[in-house]
Amino acid sequence: MRRSQILPMKSASHRAGAVGDTMAEQAETETARGLPSYADVARAAERIAGIAHRTPVLTSRTADAQTGAKLFFKAENLQRGGAFKFRGAYNAISALPEAVRARGVLSFSSGNHAQAIALASQLLGIPATIVMPSDAPAAKIAATRGYGAEVVLYDRYSQDREALGRELAEPRGMTVIPPFNHPDVIAGQGTLAQELIEEAGPLDVLVACLGGGGQLAGCALAAAALSPGCRVIGVEPEAGNDGQRSFRSGAIVTIPVPRTIADGAQSTALGDLTFAIIRREVADILTVSDAQLVATMRFFAERMKLLVEPTGCLAAAAVLHGLVDIKDKRVGVVISGGNVDLATFAHLVGPTS
């Protein structure tokens, strides 16, 4: 068995001033459209510095040998709250005017964004209400409540979480922070790719997980600025391929709530902000099966000693199962989270017949 390796940490070097006149002009154009730019990613990095963990970049000789590439895994399962979502949540809340922030925030999430908003709100000393599906993993619901947030449960297959959220937020004067379609959330998620590229160096390919598109869009902004020529690829579950269909048709496609073990990617459509960035900056969107996610969970546990949730395995599953052309390339792979019930983990990765 090969051991995974941790790349030495490098000091952060926020490069907002290094993107040149072209990037500055692009930032002005995108601001006018409501889209974040790399300059927003750089500002987000400053806001979360010393608050969010600068998670390690891991390597594995076994994974490299299996794929014929040099892989760099960004281990966001070791982030505060157990997932990359803390970056966007803290950035979005801390960017609010103080008086607005004091009234509290509301969000809707299957788990990781919920925990992120709850934890960020606790750290900033404000109230938080989270609308969560009743079938969300018990560990995610418990953790969200443990961070002090009020949790309101709903049926994801029959109720509209956004409408329910608005009904709760408006009379309380709370600000709604959606899980992905928000410029400050997108910018915050992009900081993970910024750190990855700063530590690993230029990449040929960057593979990210895809649900609503916040991670993929943010990572694409960072990659375009810091590693020009890097191909950015998103990966979503087979049962929830709305992103792939949207990308290939050129218009946002909405689907029923997908039934997949990747509970963090059960979104039904991309957001207008995330889709605009993905269309422009992303090379392709692929899908993986639940079986491939389970195999990848097992690989991480056995070979790299990492506990990774199904959604967190999306990008790695595509890479390890040969769905991406990466031979002889330097490849960044996002491990997006590790929040999975131990009983569920044991059931999924346990002995096979």
Residue pLDDT, tens place only, 13-27:
443 344 444 444 444
Catalytic residue among 82, 271, 336, 337: 336
* pLDDT for 7: 53
Determine the average pLDDT of the residues in 310-314: 98
Give the per-residue pLDDT at 12: 41
Closest CA to 175 of 233, 109, 96, 61: 96
- Protein fold of 38-84+182-349: Rossmann fold (3.40.50)
Domains 38-84+182-349 and 85-176 share a fold: yes
Q: Which range, of 42-46, 136-140, 345-349, averages the lowest pLDDT? A: 136-140
DSSP string across 109-149: -SSHHHHHHHHHHHHHT--EEEEEETTS-HHHHHHHHHTT-
- Residue count (the chain): 353
Identity at 174, one-letter amino acid code:
M
> Which range has the worst mean pLDDT, 26-30, 56-60, 281-285?
26-30
- Per annotation, catalytic residue among 212, 214, 240, 312: 240
The active-site residue, picked from 40, 236, 263, 309, is 236
Give yes or no: 289 in active site.
no
**Beta bridge partner(s), residue 286:** 235
Based on the residue annotation, tell me whether 290 is a catalytic residue of this protein.
Answer: no
Task: Write down the catalytic residue from 30, 37, 40, 85.
Answer: 85
- Residues near 299 by beta carbon (within 8 Å), at least 6 away in sequence: 63, 316, 320
Quick check: is 242 catalytic? yes
The reported pLDDT for the residue numbered 352 is 64
Torsional sign, CA 308, 312, 314, 319? negative
The per-residue pLDDT for range 117-156, each reduced to its tens digit, is 999 999 999 999 999 989 888 888 998 999 999 999 999 8
Which of 109, 110, 246, 267 does the annotation list as catalytic?
A: 110
Does the annotation count 236 as an active-site position? yes
Mean pLDDT along residues 31-57: 92
pLDDT of residue 3: 41
Return the percentage of the chain with pLDDT > 70, whole number. 90
Domain range summary for the chain, segments of one domain joined by +: 38-84+182-349, 85-176
Q: Helices 183-200 and 214-226: crossing angle, nearest 10°?
A: 50
CATH architecture, range 85-176: 3-Layer(aba) Sandwich (3.40)
Q: Given the structure tokens 């990008």, which residue do they identify?
A: 315
